[in-house]
Chain A
Amino acid sequence: MNFDEEVFKRPNIENLDEEFRKEALPYMNALYNFALQLTHDSDDAADLLQETYLKAYRFWDKFEKGTNCKAWLFRIMKNSFINFYRKNTRSPEKLDYDEIEEIYETIKSDEQNPNNLERQIYDNIFDDDVMTAIKTLPEEFRTVLLLCDVEGMTYEEIADFLDIPIGTVRSRLHRARKLLASKLYNYAKSRGYNVDEIEP
């Protein structure tokens, strides 16, 4: 006879809390940034972040251990956003894809050597320029770009999260980067220490 109820007391409330702290809290920064993305307003982002964490804490027992906690938290945030802030969201700007291609093709003919292009951008822009360029991307591009390059999500995760086909994720990323490269090249050119001097 070996009946030992103590064994079952191990994952108790204190430990659940610790687990929540360990698993969910590290993503606060990532979530905050996404909240800023969604709301465009630091007060709304703060509210949304608080709501997300409270909900996550309340439903912590619904989280399947071992699965992607970050994706779970992002989903909670997105749903909260949809439920409470939908009124304020604007419909996405209409994008002229041909225009993006055109801008890109211009830099492509402007600077045909990729090594030079990279060097010019790298030598002439500041970190802030990258931030500005990203911030001025159309929203639907920016979201996909940040989820992929900053949050490290896979195409499948992004598609699932944004309810768009995987093909759309790919094409948005492709265009977002083309547009971003064009913007950065133009920044570099306007700073222009050596851009114009290269070809006299």
Chain B
Amino acid sequence: MNCKEAQEKITPYIDGELSKDQRLDLEKHILSCNSCYYDFRVESFTKKLVTLKYKRSEVPSWLKDKILNQISSHRKKKFNPFSYLIDLSKSYRVEFAWAVIIIVLSLFLVDRILMKSTPIKEEQPAKMMEMILHNYQKIRSNQFPQSSIFTSNTNHVKEFIISHGFNDLVIPETSWKLVGAGIEKFNDMKVVHFLFKCNDNDVYVMEMDVNEFRQKYNSVVMNSLFEQMKNTKYTIIGRDSCKVVMTMKGSTLVSHVIRHENKEAFEELIAALE
């Protein structure tokens, strides 16, 4: 190593950025070259001085308080969307009372008119979704009696994903929506499963070994997976008013489609099972 090379290595040496071999090379040179040794000493000393003597300015306490207040008021705003209305009602009491009365009355009237004019409605998509999820949950806990946790509450699903370290699970911006998530112990394996909704009737499930999922799945893989799931042929199992269609891909991924449709298919599928 010549002096020019050594000069380039001194700084990263001091900052711990060199590999072991590079360190040894430089040490060899420094011990035999006074000039480079000098530079090395001065630079190390200077770094030490900065690290020891540099005093950071303290955040003024008023600023600290202000930031903490801002954060907590931001939180209040986030979880109290009616606070604005409440403020409004305080400053315009009479007007506000009238507005509320009129709104309630008109809602009541609209409701009555609708009740009369429309016959009993088909099941609402949301309700149907609820049933699908409910049935799904039942099937899962029958299939995996050892231990099964499942949630379909949107907030809980998000928290579930975060708390289990699936940060990369980005749902592409299509009609896909994550509607449920759960985790199960199956023999010695931990299985995680996610429910995705594409339209009102179809729910797709993907399930995997937890660790494998953490390692493999990111938004790109998820995208192609959705495409695959749409085009798969499947086997059917089911219970109650819901049918579940399963797809095995290799030995790892199983996807189910649950449809809340007709009894025939359901009976067929029970027969198939028996």
A29–B10 CB distance below 8 A: no
Nearest to A156 among chain B residues (CB) is B17
CA distance A188 to B91 in the complex (A): 68
B59–A32 CB distance below 8 A: yes
B49–A130 CB distance below 8 A: yes
Interface string of B12-49 (1 = CB under 8 A from A): 10010100000000000000000001110111011101
One of A72-80, A89-97, A176-184 contacting the partner? A176-184
A1–B148 CB distance below 8 A: yes
Nearest to A175 among chain B residues (CB) is B11
Q: Which of A50, A114, A177 contacts B47 (CB 8 A)?
A: A177
CA distance A65 to B162 in the complex (A): 8
Q: How many A-B residue pairs have CB under 8 A?
A: 151
Interface string of A4-40 (1 = CB under 8 A from B): 1101111111000100100000001110110010000
CA distance A194 to B141 in the complex (A): 84
**B55 within 8 A of partner (CB):** yes
CA distance A17 to B17 in the complex (A): 36
One of B66-74, B102-110, B224-232 contacting the partner? B66-74
B41–A118 CB distance below 8 A: yes
Q: Bin chain A's interface residue count.
A: 35 or more
B151–A174 CB distance below 8 A: no
Nearest to B34 among chain A residues (CB) is A112
Known A-B contacts A50-B67, A173-B15; the reply to A130 vs B58 at CB < 8 A is no
A130–B11 CB distance below 8 A: no
**B75 within 8 A of partner (CB):** yes
**B8 within 8 A of partner (CB):** yes
Known A-B contacts A3-B150, A150-B56, A154-B17; the reply to A114 vs B67 at CB < 8 A is no
**B252 within 8 A of partner (CB):** no
What distance in Å separates the Cβ of B218 from its nearest Cβ neighbour in chain A? Answer: 12
A33–B57 CB distance below 8 A: yes
CA distance A64 to B142 in the complex (A): 35
Contacts of A150 in B (CB 8 A): 50-51, 54, 56
Nearest to B45 among chain A residues (CB) is A118
**B83 within 8 A of partner (CB):** no
B63–A58 CB distance below 8 A: no
CA distance A118 to B45 in the complex (A): 7
A181–B70 CB distance below 8 A: no
**A149 within 8 A of partner (CB):** yes
B67–A28 CB distance below 8 A: yes
A181–B57 CB distance below 8 A: no
Q: Which of B11, B60, B162 contacts A11 (CB 8 A)?
A: B162
**B79 within 8 A of partner (CB):** yes
A145–B149 CB distance below 8 A: no
**B93 within 8 A of partner (CB):** no
**B64 within 8 A of partner (CB):** yes
**A68 within 8 A of partner (CB):** no
**B125 within 8 A of partner (CB):** no
Known A-B contacts A8-B156, A10-B163; the reply to A58 vs B74 at CB < 8 A is yes
Binding site for B on A (CB under 8 A): 1-5, 7-13, 17, 20, 28-30, 32-33, 36, 46, 49-50, 53-54, 57-58, 61, 64-65, 108, 112, 114, 117-118, 121, 127, 130-131, 134, 145-146, 148-150, 154-155, 170-171, 173-174, 177-178, 180-181, 184
Listed by A's residue number, 15 A-B pairs whose Cβ atoms lie within 8 Å are: A8-B151, A8-B156, A8-B157, A29-B56, A29-B59, A36-B57, A53-B70, A57-B74, A65-B165, A146-B50, A154-B17, A155-B15, A173-B11, A181-B42, A181-B45
- CB-based closest 7 A-B pairs: A114-B41, A8-B156, A130-B53, A174-B11, A149-B50, A177-B46, A1-B141
